[in-house]
Structure 1
């Protein structure tokens, strides 16, 4: 099926493999209306609308697990092949984090280890905090389901139960129970950030389809495509600018716009297409940096507040609780309890 070529920002694009996964559940008229650009990438807003329409008809999130179950080693071309041929889960997760922009530009991943050595894969989107719609939430849920299915499939006969930590449940308890059974995972509510947690004992088990030459050939292709896509990613450019600052006390929209050689109105117009603004991007950056610093446990709370641009600790604590529903002190205390 030939889709009309359209012009849209690559920040709103995903790999064409997502369309392949969704075709069996979509109405033909909606499938035909999906926009693709000259590079063969698919418009994420169109795909989310297609997914939402199918969900409204099925009225069950199990549909997402069924879609994810169809993912194969060639679904996403060189991307999924690189994952299937990785040496172990640690290598797979590293590739997934580094080149996720090729798979899904509006999603960012952070791959890290907790203090016990378990793997954490933070799943972040581009929308302002607390501003994700039901449509985008379905898209993120499908993304997580596909990642889980890939992990299960590459592990083959090795059974692993993952923790899926969510900020909040949006499905009924019985639906969550079915998802847990179908996806071989445990869903945990109340996390300050969406993440998958994988026990450390599974991270270095040699994978069945490990192929060094094929894996690195695919990774080289991904590196080239990722670098091309990153050049046009405004949010990544803003994060890079913020990472260069020793603190965020004097950071404002004009400083960011000047760094990107555009005026503030133009910057916000581009960001609004991703359902955010410069304030939304900065706020999400502050949350992520706060979580890193709190988890590391090496910087005191007052210094964290200063680095993030807050006037005092109480102002930071109120903002953090507004973002996550929990206090920063409770995050640090949880980390200490796990260490004990």
Structure 2
């Protein structure tokens, strides 16, 4: 009898200890970025810092490769509360009601360098836009951290040396209006596809190209099936940590501060790994037999100079583009 009581007490104590060490809060954190990419590693770093500093009370479950949804589905999930957090591009929220001004981040040649993009996207002009988006759409960007590779035009037909070379090509373009307008302005037939659909579409000839830099092109292996790389550098972007606004409101000030610290650590790692990738990316392209060219960027900038006019005073306030450019050092 004593043995049985001892066994029961032991089980109860063990169960209590387990409960004490279980996470009090579990967060679903999704992304379309591929596993083991520099951006996925940023998410892992974020989860690691959160777990360590919360002493295991907060657990972040990571879902890469669009496991719980593509970009639109992740954003919708955060609005509905079925997804807690996501790691996406800054302008991905521009499709939401009240978030239209964030489309400006994808305007071609808005930023003159990576540093200018980092400063601008973390500066007061964009902070105001993030807050507006959170209040209007229920999705908050709480940290912008993690440099992206400059966007390039990567095709199965080429080389692409000038805007006219794109006329008639079918390209996978992100499902964002300003990207669509940008490429349609030079005669591209835009094909909306999720990132995880692009490789097969390229290999089957369903599309002729896509526009991503070293980070996504190499991690998704698009360079295996598209052998012409045009380094247009038409967009400098950064990754952003998104959160459901309804979930954000449940966090304590200490938890919010922790998430921002963890995001900064994750973004720092993504940037370091991304810089290494950019440095060695050209070698990878050469090994794969990719034809790498630097096109006439001034010609592309001229071809896209009027894209903003479709948005000025309609999607974003008059003078926003000028303010952003004037703030760059």
TM-score in terms of structure 2 length: 0.26
Counting strand residues as a fraction of each chain, which structure ranks higher? Answer: 2
TM-score in terms of structure 1 length: 0.26
Larger RCO: Structure 1 or Structure 2 (Cα < 8 Å, ≥ 6 residues apart)? Answer: 2
Q: Which has the larger radius of gyration?
A: 2
Counting helix residues as a fraction of each chain, which structure ranks higher? Answer: 1
